[in-house]
Amino acid sequence: MNRKIRVIDSHTGGEPTRVVIDPGWGHFPAGWGERSLAEDLHALRRDHDDLRSICLHEPRGGEVWVGGLLCPPADKTCDFGVIFFNHIGYLGMCGHGTIGLVVTLAHLGRIEPGAVRIDTPVGPVEAVWHGGAEVSVTNVPSRRIAAGVVVEVPGIGQVSGDVVWSGNPFFLVQRHDETITASNVARLTHVALEIRRAVRAAGYEQVDHVELFGPPSTPDRDSKNFVLCPGGAYDRSPCGTGTSAKLACLAADGLLAEGQPWVQESIIGSTFVASYRWADRQQGEVIPTIRGSAYVTAEADLMVAPDDPFPQGISATSGEPG
């Protein structure tokens, strides 16, 4: 008998999301939805990591994909729970993935236009389905942890950036000599991997995303970014948690007022419109809201035949074990 995993695929600003709507377990194991989602993530990693590898390793997935297991919420104020993962591990939150999840729930007829609360391993987030492809996500509280961290990067020189928590740990670099264009992603990936190595060696071992900024393509946008994801792929979208990290820095530096829109462009030209409100001005903590659009691309049963020589796929990665 083939093992079957039911998924809905979507893309948000070009970045794919694969939502697992039925992992094929029959029912969720005991305890799921009764403790925190961080503990459920721990159980998923310990007992069912094959779900992640089947869904996202080649040949069924690949390094560009983010997966999300739709699961019972632990926080009972929430309507749904989700645990995001990629081809090398798990994510705390995923902004583009949450936009993809909401459009998926709409596609399945499981939500109406309006607000939906979603539990994640780093806390609940609130989304609004505006109808069609449009979704807003209000992320977990985000803040800059360290400003102006200077690291020596081999072959590149000194790089200064900010360490930020926004549901995932980021290093943000505003000043550099690189060209932020889609034709330059091979060089940008190399540079960002080198920066991440240096940032981790400087004591910020948790940093797994690196974000470089440049001028936008058109004057109606504020900035363009390149985002290196944990497994070495680059985000095709402007990255929801990455845009949240940017807002935390802009707020801390007094460069963007509460409620003022910020249009973040991705390396491929897709956009998120973002704004923040203060959670705790003293602590520099903001609550970001990101608005973007997602489109369903496939409904599928992933299958694993009993005699498949690669039942969990092939773990090929251009990044580092994360």
What is the distance of C-alpha 71 from the center of its chain?
A: 18
Which of residues 211 and 304 has its CB atom nearest to ligand PYC in the complex? 211
Q: How far is the CB of 2 from ligand PYC (least distance, A)?
A: 30
Burial 182-198 (b: 16+ CB within 10 A, else e): eeebeebbebbbbbbeb
96 vs 246 by CB, closer to ligand PYC: 96
Nearer to ligand PYC, 142 or 241 (CB): 241
Of 55, 71, 239, 249, which is the active-site residue? 239
Three-class SS of residue 187?
Answer: helix
Decide if residue 211 touches ligand PYC (CB under 6 A): no
**Selected binder of ligand PYC within 63, 119, 222, 235 (CB under 6 A):** 235
**By three-state DSSP, how is residue 208 classified?**
coil
Provide the mask over 4-33, with x wherever binding to ligand PYC is found by CB under 6 A and - wherever it is not: -----------x------------------
What distance in Å separates the CA atoms of residue 276 and residue 201, rounded to the nearest whole number? Answer: 32
User: How does DSSP assign 138-156, residue by residue?
Assistant: E---EEEEEEEEEEEETTT
Torsion angle of C-alpha atoms 154, 156, 158, 164, degrees rounded to 10: -90
Q: Per rule CB under 6 A, is residue 138 in the interface with ligand PYC?
A: no
Burial of 246 (0-12, 13-18, 19+ CB in 10 A): buried
Active-site annotation holder among 55, 94, 229, 249: 94
Instruction: Considering the complex, state which of residue 248 and residue 304 has its C-beta at the smaller distance from ligand PYC.
Output: 248
Beta strands in 105-222 (DSSP E): 114-119, 125-131, 134-138, 142-153, 157-165, 169-173, 209-214
Among 240, 284, 313, 319, binds ligand PYC (CB under 6 A): 240
List Cβ neighbours of 250 (8 Å cut-off, separation of 6 or more): 256, 262
Among 8, 20, 51, 66, binds ligand PYC (CB under 6 A): 66
State the minimum distance, in angstroms, from the CB of residue 60 to ligand PYC: 19
71 and 43 Cβ atoms separated by less than 8 Å: no
- Annotated catalytic residue 55: no
Cis peptide before 59 (omega within 30 of 0): yes
Clarify whether 239 is annotated catalytic.
Answer: yes
Q: Does 229 bind ligand PYC (CB under 6 A)?
A: yes
Q: By C-beta, is 94 or 199 nearer to ligand PYC?
A: 94
* Beta carbon of residue 166, minimum distance to ligand PYC (angstroms, whole number): 8
Residue 177 CB, nearest distance to ligand PYC (Å)?
25
Catalytic positions = 94, 239
Residues of this chain that interact with ligand PYC (CB under 6 A) are 15, 66, 94-96, 229, 235, 237, 239-241
